[in-house]
Amino acid sequence: MANMAAEKVEMAVLKGEEAACAGLQLAILDPHVAPERIEAWKRQTPIFDRAYLFDRSGKLLYPAQVSEAEATTLAALRGEIAPGFWDRGGRRHVRLEEQVALVSVIQGSPLGRLLAILVRSEQGLRRDIIEKTLVGLEGQSVVAVLDGSDRVIYAARPLERSQHVLTVAFGEALPSWRLALYAPAGVSPRDAVRRQTVLFTAVLILLLGVIALGLGASYRLVRRESEMARLKSDFVANVSHDLKTPVALIRMFGETLEMNRVPNEATRREYYGVIARESERLTRRIDNVLDFSRIEGGRQRYEIARGHLEPVVHEAIEAFRYPLAQQGFKVHVEVEPDLPEVALDTEAIKQALANLVDNAMKYSDARRHIGVTARRVGGEVKIEISDEGIGIAAREHARIFEKFYRIGRSETQGRRGSGVGLALVKHIVEAHGGRVTVDSRPGEGSRFTIHLPVPAVP
């Protein structure tokens, strides 16, 4: 920036001199040099404050008189002008006293070629050239012009407390003058560097933060994905095992019957019963998985119509009568009389209740009590299935409704399942405009509640 400013000033000085010489050429067109015309030219040319004109013979044509000291200096100067310079014409800068003077051959006068020695005016130069050129060039830094003895010729703003940054020289037109850049107080280069360092550090920290966040998010995503993959493979193994058990029983009892190895009619009937119940269980497991896959594929449809809940609840429990009795469960069913009708898909609600009863049985230990109640509370009907089994820790309450999720192996040791039962319950209940909640404590038992909205009376 400093170099550019110096170049601009230099160019402006040369242009100003060019214009001044052209003006002077016009002023000397008369047959004799008219001082008033040169005076007029001088008034229009503030960058020079003195002018001397000589003819080739060395006669002073302007001004009329000079002091003795001046005459000596001028004579010395003219002595340096080679004859070739007269012939070629042109311009040269020379030092004259403390100033710079422009020596130029001016053509066009009837008196022949004239030699002009024009001494610069520091003030005129500053006002006419430097100020005009440098205005608007500065940003935060201050531009100043210094002379050979570091005197400030021009500065856009006061320089006190500013810090010097750098200096560049002008060209031949302004020998010994220099252009300097200053940084105002508070914007010293060191401060600027410090500020930039702080800024870069902040941006870097921000960037690192964003990268860390991205890494964290991808890590979580990858972990979720791999957990999902593990759950899915567990699911396949669990489903296969779940299906194998009833199939093995059916086959075993079927073969025994086929080989006629049954001692009496009562036992035979019992075996038929086992086959029938295991087939039912098999159907339930298969229905569960098929419905779940339909839900996953977005193909599950419910046929929801108004109906009474009471028979639905009883039928759902009835389906478990034998396994409940066989495993020594005491079941207490209590359906409030005059329950209002609700909008329901009978089969789907039965399936949801079956899953809850299945869980209540599966996750019970020594205390084998299951309670089933249905009652109206405000604008909804609540169906509760409670057990006194192993219970569920509070932190798992939300996760057990996720597909494939099963609580750690040690808690559910020996209890097989595919982990889709509660996900199915949740989907079914939500399709009815209701919700399912759980209340459970480890070691005390669990209570699952299905809330179904009571439709407004038409």
Ligand X SMILES: Nc1ncnc2c1ncn2[C@@H]1O[C@H](COP(=O)(O)OP(=O)(O)OP(=O)(O)O)[C@@H](O)[C@H]1O
The residue type found at 366 is: A
Interaction partner, residue 363 (ligand X, Mg ion, none; CB < 5-8 Å by kind) = ligand X
Interacting residues toward ligand X by CB under 6 A:
355, 359-360, 363, 387, 389-392, 400, 405-407, 412, 417-423, 446
359 binds Mg ion, rule: CB under 5 A? yes
Q: Which residue number, 418 or 449, has a Cβ lying nearer to ligand X?
A: 418
Determine the size of the site formed for Mg ion (CB under 5 A): 3
Cβ at position 232, least distance to Mg ion in Å: 17
Cβ at position 417, least distance to Mg ion in Å: 5
What is the DSSP annotation of 159-171? -TT-EEEEEEE--
Query: What would the x/- binding string for Mg ion be over residues 26 to 55, using CB under 5 A?
Result: ------------------------------
Cβ at position 403, least distance to Mg ion in Å: 12
163-169 and 178-183: which strand pairing?
A: antiparallel
Query: What is the rounded CA–CA span in Å between residue 220 and residue 222?
Result: 5
369-377 and 330-335: which strand pairing?
A: parallel
Q: Which residue number, 117 or 361, has a Cβ lying nearer to Mg ion?
A: 361
121 binds Mg ion, rule: CB under 5 A? no
Cα angle: 421, vertex 287, 446; to 5 degrees: 25
358 closest CA partner among 320, 325, 408, 322:
320
421 binds Mg ion, rule: CB under 5 A? yes
Cβ at position 208, least distance to Mg ion in Å: 46
Contact 385, 372 (CB under 8 A): yes
Q: Which residue number, 92 or 409, has a Cβ lying nearer to ligand X?
A: 409
Query: What is the rounded CA–CA span in Å between residue 342 and residue 308?
Result: 7
Cα angle: 138, vertex 144, 148; to 5 degrees: 155
Query: What is the rounded CA–CA span in Å between residue 121 and residue 337?
Result: 116
Interaction partner, residue 390 (ligand X, Mg ion, none; CB < 5-8 Å by kind) = ligand X
Q: Which residue number, 86 or 405, has a Cβ lying nearer to ligand X?
A: 405
43 closest CA partner among 135, 121, 115, 96:
121
Q: Which residue number, 162 or 359, has a Cβ lying nearer to Mg ion?
A: 359
386 binds Mg ion, rule: CB under 5 A? no
Contact 393, 412 (CB under 8 A): no
Cβ at position 339, least distance to ligand X in Å: 24
418 binds Mg ion, rule: CB under 5 A? no
Q: Which residue number, 142 or 354, has a Cβ lying nearer to Mg ion?
A: 354
Interaction partner, residue 351 (ligand X, Mg ion, none; CB < 5-8 Å by kind) = none
